[in-house]
Amino acid sequence: MLAARNNLGIFSLAFYTPGGYGLAMITLMDARDVLTDDRVVGVVSPVKRAFETWTRLAHPAFDSTTRARAIQNMAHWDACERLSDDQGVRAGEHRLQKYITFDERVLIRIKQFDRNLATRNYPTDQALEFVQQEQIDGFPPFDRLHVGYRLDISGTRLQDVFITLPTGRKSAFNAWVWQVLGDPIDLTTYGYQIGLFRVAQPTIRDGYFYEDYSSRLA
């Protein structure tokens, strides 16, 4: 892991809520301290395996919503199994929303992302409150992260996987992005994505960190 810290480790990132701007409680670097190598592998490898399982079982009658729910459920179950010996990990569910917490500091959910690294689910009131980091009855009061994956345009290949701190803002859905699988991307201030050449070493810029975990995934 890259040990150096830059301003991401100390800079307070602002996010928007209906009541105004607040402060994100966890920085990208602090999240990396909580989500150790074993924990990252423990949640990302299940996403990869769940997609591989889906491709073997998929039927033309299944739509994209069914696919996303199946991948999410399989990955969540597998992650819980892999992390069962980690004393700082707890799994929970509220109103059919499955989540995993780490060290009573962060809460993660596995989601499918769109091209702008935003969640693809219908924006219900609870979904909006979740990404805007508002307190929701029934959810632990921890910082909420997404482990989000994207498929290629054909839907037949896992393209990349990210760990993000969502804010729900239309201009920039995530306060920061930690990419752990796939070709590295560049996020502009407008939220668009530009493909970059593959790099061998971890790369860090303001709000974006790239580290390739592909060789560590079972």
The model's pTM is 0.80
pLDDT > 70: percent of the chain: 74
Coil, helix or strand for 160? strand
* Beta pairing class for 106-112 and 97-102: antiparallel
Instruction: pLDDT band for 207, please (50, 70, 90 cuts).
Output: confident
Q: What is the pLDDT of residues 34-56, one digit of tens each?
A: 999 999 999 999 999 999 999 99
Q: What was the pLDDT predicted at 120?
A: 73
Q: Distance (Å, rounded) from C-alpha 196 to C-alpha 133?
A: 30
Q: Are strands 106-112 and 143-151 parallel, antiparallel or unpaired?
A: parallel
The candidate with the shortest Cα–Cα distance to 201, out of 191, 209, 192, 193, is 209
**Stretch 129-152: mean pLDDT:** 86
Q: Where are the domains of the chain?
A: 27-216
* Mean pLDDT of all residues belonging to the chain: 80
pLDDT score, position 147? 97
**Strands 14-17 and 20-23: what pairing?**
antiparallel
Q: Tell me the pLDDT tens digit for each residue of 84-108.
A: 999 999 999 988 889 999 999 999 9
Number of H helices, E strands in the chain: 4, 12
Q: How confident is the model at residue 212 (pLDDT cuts 50, 70, 90)?
A: very high
Q: What does the DSSP assignment read for 113-162?
A: B-TTS-B-S---HHHHHHHTT---TTS-SSEEEEEEEEE-TTSSSEEEEE
Question: What would the mean pLDDT of 111-122 be, rounded to a whole number?
Answer: 85
Greater model confidence, 12 or 111 = 111
Q: Which tokens in the block code for residue 52?
A: 């591989």
Q: Is the pLDDT of residue 10 over 50?
A: no
Beta-carbon neighbour count of residue 15 at 10 Å? 20
Residue 17 has pLDDT above 90, yes or no: no
The pLDDT score that the predictor gives to residue 203 is: 52
As a whole number of Å, the end-to-end CA separation of the chain is 19
Residue 199 has a pLDDT of 43
